[in-house]
Amino acid sequence: MLTALGDCRSALSSKQFSDSTPTDLSDHGGTEDSLLTPEELSVLCRHMNEQHWAAQQVQRASVELFQALFFRDRPENDPIRQADGIICQLRGNNGFVVLVSRFGIRGSVCVKDPQGQVAWMSTKSEDRHRIQWMPAGAGFEVERVYDSTRGDCGRLEVRDPRTGEVQRYSIFDHVTVEIHVTDSVTHGLGLRLQLIRGPHVTKDLSATKSITDGKQLDTQLIESVQDQDTKRRRKRALDEQAATADEMEALDQDVLIARLHEPGSMYHHFRKLLRECNPAQPVVSPGDE
């Protein structure tokens, strides 16, 4: 239906745009006369805005349909129907808008339903934030209260006139809602959010566990890198020591050979003695060996 509405509005705009613009643009020759007039630009921009609006509505309706199909076949007591939501807007004197980030749902929640029942957190039960729906004749009041010293949107207050106790709902409070699917003959599937727990502080154990696991992984990674770096440094030091030892050994050999070639060395004295003892036998020099 939304698509048909968008196509209809677009067709009307296109017809109006085609009637208001010349059909033959070849006579303008790319001069200033070929530019669109403000009226023509207005029609064109309105047509583009309507197309954009229609695409947004179709996308939103598609997401809502698939969300409704996801919850439709689940039993009423399925725990997945209960999710944490954040109050992002106060509406009138009897409700607010919550954002359920787990499923990407944004919907209205009533503190006072059409039958006159008022949501009240039972402080005597084990779960102090559990909602009980008080009957219309119980005297509970719901009021939107503004603070004169602050320029915010105020808060919702639920009062028990018998005891004077007040329960408040403010922006960014965490509440728990239950997701239901509504169906009718004239409308498609939709979602309805019902308040089951009032403002409370969330304790996301899974998030805490994931943070702890992440820190442990980071520590293990750092230790592993440090161990590898230590091993690499040790290997480099051993290689440098081995290279230094080889260089020293080669240097010692060169020094020894150089000393042998000195005229006053023991080697030259030994050769002289050999020549004196055996003048006919040649003596091999160190370079010829």
Q: Is the pLDDT of residue 165 over 50?
A: yes
Buried b / exposed e along 153-179 (16+ C-beta atoms within 10 A): eebbbbbbeeeeeebebeeebbbbbbb
Q: Which burial class, exposed, middle or buried, applies to 197 when counting CB atoms under 10 A from its CB (0-12, 13-18, 19+)?
A: buried
Half-sphere exposure for 9 (CA within 13 Å, toward CB): 17
Domain residue ranges in the chain: 76-200, 213-272
Q: How confident is the model at residue 7 (pLDDT cuts 50, 70, 90)?
A: low
Q: 91-106 pLDDT, tens per residue? A: 888 889 999 988 888 9
Chain center to CA of 219: 23
Highest mean pLDDT among 25-34, 165-174, 259-268, 275-284: 165-174
Q: 126-151 pLDDT, tens per residue? A: 777 888 888 888 888 888 888 777 76
The CATH number given to 76-200 is: 2.40.50.140
Pair of tokens at residue 162: 């018998």
Query: Which single residue is written with the structure tokens 């009718």?
Result: 184
Of 64, 57, 65, 62, the residue nearest 10 (C-alpha): 57
Alpha carbons 132 and 158: distance in angstroms, whole number: 13
Q: 204-243 pLDDT, tens per residue? A: 544 455 566 667 767 777 787 788 888 888 888 888 888 8
User: DSSP assignment of 13-71, as one string?
Assistant: HHHHHHHHS-S--TTTTTSGGGSPPHHHHHHHHHHHHHHHHHHHHHHHHHHHHHHHHHH
197, 84 Cβ separation under 8 angstroms: no
Question: pTM for this one?
Answer: 0.53
Give 146-214 as a 3 state SS string: CCCCCCCCCEEEEEECCCCEEEEECCCCEEEEEEEEECCCCCCCEEEEEEEEEEECCCCHHHHHHHHHH
Of 99, 119, 101, 100, the residue nearest 110 (C-alpha): 119
What pLDDT sits at residue 254?
Answer: 76
97, 87 Cβ separation under 8 angstroms: yes
At 88 the three-state DSSP class reads: strand
Alpha carbons 170 and 108: distance in angstroms, whole number: 14
Mean residue pLDDT across the chain: 78
Of 85, 96, 145, the residue nearest 119 (C-alpha): 96
Percentage of the chain beyond pLDDT 90 is: 15
